[in-house]
Structure 1
Amino acid sequence: MNESDQMKKHRFKMPSAFTILFGLTVFIAILTWFIPAGTYSTTPDGTLISGTYRTVASHTQGLWDVLMAPIIGMIGNKQTTGAIEISIFILVIGGFLGVVNQTGALDDGIRAIVHRYTGHEKRLIIILMILFSVGGSTYGMGEETMAFFPLLIPIMMGVGYDSLVAVGIILLSTRVGDLASTVNPFATGVASGIIKISPGVGLFSRVILLVIVTAMAIWFVIHYAEKVKKDPTKSLVYSQRQEDMKRFSVADRTSAPKPLTKNQKHVLWVFCLTFVIMIVGLVPWTSINKSWNFFDRFNSWITGNAFLGTILGKDIVSLGNWYFNEITLLFLLMSIVIMFVSHMKEGQFINAFMNGMADLLNVAIIVAVARGIQAIMNSGMITGTILHLGETSLSGLPKPVFAILAFVFFCVLSVLIPSSSGLAAATMGIMGSLAVFSHVEGSVVVSAFQASSGLITAITPTSAILMGALALSHVSLTTWWKWTAKLIVSLFVVTCGFLAIVSVM
């Protein structure tokens, strides 16, 4: 065995999110033996009342409690709300994406856009980055982009750019989209659900952030692309350009895709409509303006109608008041609609839906395992003690300072837990309560959480999205860090400014 093989053999490999979360569960259980137990008085709806902390008898947690924690994290108990509704939603949206991918509509749609704008690459960069950013912002687009790297790299290199441009178009845009998630179910949805607020709260301010950070990423990529086109030696991967030209068959370019079929076009319309309906359903219209009660009145008319109320049901929830149950139903229904629109056979539909669910099963279970950390803390009755420490140390801080410190805290943990769902389940319970003590809106904490997740997964080697993309593109991690450093710092500063502003609004 040579020296290179020995280095590979002994190279440190980051444990999986499951191992990290279970390790945190064990660590928290040990802390229950040393941290005094305490609790707060609560209102009838379970909200902690500031200033009512008191110590209680110790509730140390043992091996049985550690092993039981993920189970309680899923189904819940008296002290901890289970993650079952969030996990089921994640599985159903996985099934929905599986059905969409079975039709090939999403892949072929992007291929058609790429081919249409060949020769107008700067315009193509803008269009693609906006699309990928919206995908990251609305449904957490990430791993689904892997198929597009081999497609886009030859096109970008063929017009005089380099592989980094193609990687930036896809990877940076989905990450800034994730940073400014609007209704991303894996970030906004999970985090909002844990602190019991609608994912629609804070939506408008996050849309503004999305526009800003997407524009920053687009300018960054175009500026670099034009510099490389003028002088190829300015490319950070210039030393491997000839190898990349052969590796990605740049001379052959990409053959023209087949036109989208009529069925695929219909599927894309249903796909887009699904997310439009979800957004409309989650936005708390009447809380924004009491006169915006159209959906409530329309819903009352339907349920009050003898015929429609009997056929459709009396318990329909009006748009603007939706939560996880309702949006889960939406994605399930739209999966069935796509089955009929695409003329998919029943067997194909079931297989695609189940395979899609299987792809996100680990995410759904991560939520439960992470929620088990909160279960251990609650059962050991140290949550109140930790919150009391936070109340005494953070409650006096100005709102902007609290928001920025929360963002920094989430950034540090995102390195260890790159799963947005896992990070939310592990931390949002406590951070949401600390926000209450500091009189900061829960939506601000949600924004801080998801911004950290999007930002850090763009640079951390624990991110499967990042490492997979770089491996496909044959770009080293150090080269990626060198290229994106200024943008990442700029995004960090802009996010801090955004959080400081929205915290006082």
Structure 2
Amino acid sequence: MAVASDSSSTSGASAPGRFPTAYTILFGLIVVMAVLTWIIPAGEYERVANETLGKDVPVPGSYQPVDAAPQTLIDVLIAPIAGFYDPASYEANAIDVSLFVLIVGGFLGVVTATGAINTGIAQAMRRLEGREKWMIPIMMALFAAGGTTYGMAEETLAFYVLLIPIMIAAGYDALTGVAIIMLGAGVGVIGSTINPFSTAIASDAAGIPFTQGMVLRFVILGLSWIAAVAFVMRYAEQVRRDPSRSLVADMKEANEAHFLQGRDALTSEYLSGLQIVILLLFAATFGVMVWGVSSQGWWMAEMSALFLGASILIGTLAWLGEKAFTTAFVNGARDLLGVALVIGLARGIVIIMDQGRITDTILYTFEGWISGMSEVAFINALFGIEALMSFLVPSTSGLAVLSMPIMAPLSDFAGVSRDLAVTAFQTAIGITNLVAPTYAVVVGGLAIGRVPYNRWLRFIWPLLLILSLLSMGLLSLAVML
């Protein structure tokens, strides 16, 4: 599965006016950040250990210029490699996520080889005929629940290959499937309630209980979910009625061939007893993953082990044979190799910024901009600054630890409660992380869904505007009350 570009052509030649691939965009951003390390003065905050967070946090008012560390051509070339694993910058590491993606690809390859998925899709479409559109709000509610409770993000990468074929078979398009997952989990993060990677860490860094401000966050969650569901359902219905209105209409045949391969031969068949067992195990694997992450502290290593074990179990039950099993697993992993490479490239951008010592300088600049503002101006400026910073630091927990120790004390001087500063942070990064090309979940999800990045921007910008105005309006109202 190649990373999506703005051309459905499989030719190596570049068509005139063709939008660059995700690889080119991300490597270009690495180069841009390297150039900025020659222009932006280097500087750092002093940091102290926070035992609760298990991280070093910056000390407000401690920013000092340091020796410049401009990044060279060698650093630019090393950055994508270091993005996979850099011992000096754990937040930037992508090797665990990349390996998880490859193992999930192998798992899906094994399940597909049994024929259970294709037959299951065909049977589901027969039963849902005429009611397919109601899958959209239901699925988006489930993903939003994951986003608001435990920050569901990288975990969603495992669901694209499952959901997109169902959406295409129902008469929609690949973009609809991507939107259900990415926007569903995304609005959950925007309205994070008990999300440990957003609300809890940011609140702790701000020195307040994470339960403060919960009512406002529930309001933001509910209204954002309604807006996102209405937006996706409207687009999906347009595509169903007139496929030419799809933003990926020119890729329709290629996407159907990719996601529905073998389905035509199975539409008259019904699931066998063995295939039903396989699908139950398939669903149970995802259920166990959600349970493990939300209540057992699992992360990429444990999730990868789960999918590897499930692959072996399903392959054994289906009696694929050693050669057929390994072939299916390797082919499935190969389909997602491009996604794994994109994730490493995205993390390489953070590597360059950290090595060039410009991240803290950018934060210090923003700190100076918002000092002395009125309450309403401050909360909206803070929202905008966190949104911009999240393009550069796409890690939710990483940006919380970096910015909240600085921004929370500033909110005291502006007369804004710290829980509103935390809410401004989480809504801003949640919105930005729906489009940030530095965020592995965005570039990875689009790559799996074969949706070009520029088409995604064209689709989502009206909703981004709606969500931004909604969040800023509610924050402003909360400040004034």
TM range (shorter): 0.5 to 0.7
Per-residue deviation, 1:381:
1.6
> What corresponds to 2:170 in structure 1?
152
Does residue 371 of the first structure (1) align with residue 356 of the second (2)?
A: no
Encode CA deviations 1:57-76: one digit per residue, 9 max, x unaligned: 22222111111112222220
Do the aligned residues in 1 keep the contact of 2:46 with 2:58 (CA within 8 Å)?
A: yes
Which of 242, 251, 270 is the aligned partner of 1:259? 270
Residue among 33, 38, 61 paired with 2:43: 38
Q: CA 1:72 to 1:335, structure 2 compared with 1: closer, same or farther past 3 Å?
A: same
Give 2:68's aligned amino acid: S
**Counterpart among 125, 131, 156 of residue 139 in structure 1:** 156
Cα pair 1:80 1:375 within 8 Å, conserved: no
Which residue number in structure 2 is paired with residue 12 of structure 1?
17
Per-residue CA deviations over 1:89-137 (Å, capped at 9, x if unaligned) read 222222222223223323322321211233xx1x332136634775797
Amino acid corresponding to residue 183 of structure 2 in structure 1: V
Structure 1 range deviating more: 165-174 or 51-60: 165-174
- Structural mapping, 1:89-238, within 5 Å: 89-118=100-129, 121=130, 123-127=131-135, 130-131=138-139, 134=142, 139-140=156-157, 141-142=159-160, 147-148=165-166, 151-153=169-171, 170=177, 172-180=179-187
Q: How many residue pairs end up in the alignment?
A: 399
Q: Quick check: 1:400–1:501 contact (8 Å CA) kept in 2?
A: no
Contact 1:96/1:335 (<8 A) preserved: yes
**Match of 2:277, as an amino acid?**
H
Task: Assess if the C-alpha contact under 8 Å between 1:404 and 1:496 holds in 2.
Answer: yes
Alignment partner of 1:51 out of 27, 46, 61: 61
Note closer, same or farther for the CA distance 1:62–1:106 as it changes in structure 2 (3 Å cut).
same
- Cα pair 1:387 1:434 within 8 Å, conserved: yes
Among candidates 312, 317, 320, match of residue 336 of structure 1: 312
The match for 1:269 is 280
In the alignment, the residues of structure 2 paired with residue 455 and residue 180 of structure 1 have an alpha-carbon distance, to the nearest angstrom, of: 13
Structure 2 CA distance for aligned equivalents of residues 404 and 271 of structure 1: 40
Q: C-alpha separation between the residues in 2 aligned to 1:500 and 1:335? A: 50
Over 3 Å counting, the alpha-carbon distance change for 1:190 and 1:341 in structure 2 is: farther
* Alpha-carbon separation, structure 2, partners of 1:364 and 1:443: 32
Q: Say what the alpha-carbon RMSD is for the aligned residues.
A: 5.1
TM-fit CA distance, 1:212: 6.2
**What is residue 438 of structure 1 aligned with on the other side?**
407
Letter in 1 for 2:71: Q
- The answer to whether the 8 A contact 2:380-2:475 is kept is no
The TM-score normalised by the length of structure 1 is 0.61
Q: Distance in 1 between matches of 2:290 and 2:222?
A: 17
1:453 offset after TM fit, Å?
4.8
Q: Which amino acid aligns with 2:169?
A: L
Q: Is the Cα contact below 8 Å between 2:26 and 2:346 reproduced in 1?
A: yes
Separation in 2, partners of 1:177, 1:454? 10
Q: Does 1:25 align with 2:53?
A: no
The answer (yes or no) to whether the contact 2:139–2:184 under 8 Å persists in 1 is: no
Mapped to 2, the partners of 1:396 and 1:271 lie a distance apart of 55
Work out which of the residue numbers 97, 102, 106 in structure 2 matches 1:86: 97
CA displacement, residues 204-234 of structure 1 (integer Å, 9 cap, x when unaligned) = 99999887666656666778999999xx9xx
CA contact (8 A) 1:180 1:207 kept: no
Q: How far apart are the structure 1 equivalents of 2:336 and 2:461?
A: 31
What pairs up with 1:381-460 in 2 under 5 angstroms?
A: 381-393=357-369, 401=380, 404-405=383-384, 409=388, 424=394, 429-430=398-399, 433-439=402-408, 448-449=428-429, 451-454=431-434
How far is 1:497 from its partner? 6.7
Quick check: 2:164–2:174 contact (8 Å CA) kept in 1? no
Cα distance between partner residues in 1 of 2:436 and 2:338: 20
Partners of 1:465 and 1:394 in 2: how far apart? 37
Inter-partner Cα distance in structure 1 for 2:347 and 2:230: 39
Unaligned runs of 5+ in 2: 1-12, 50-54, 145-151, 190-194, 205-209, 246-255, 257-263, 409-417
- Whichever residue aligns with residue 130 of structure 1, its letter is I
Measure, in 2, the Cα distance between the counterparts of 1:488 and 1:494: 10
Contact kept in structure 2, 1:168 and 1:221, CA below 8 Å: no
Residue 345 (str. 1) matches residue 321 (str. 2): yes
Larger radius of gyration: 1
Which runs of structure 2 are paired with 1:459-470 in the superposition (5 Å)?
A: none
Residue number in structure 2 paired with 1:160 = none
Change (3 A) 1:223 1:41: closer
| Distance in 1 (alpha carbons) for counterparts of 2:25 and 2:426 | 22
CA distance in 1, matches of 2:431, 2:42: 33
Query: What is the aligned partner in structure 1 of residue 74 from structure 2?
Result: 64
Q: TM-score, normalised by structure 2?
A: 0.64
Does the CA-based 8 Å contact 1:79-1:379 persist in structure 2? no
Task: From 293, 318, 322, give the equivalent of 1:282.
Answer: 293
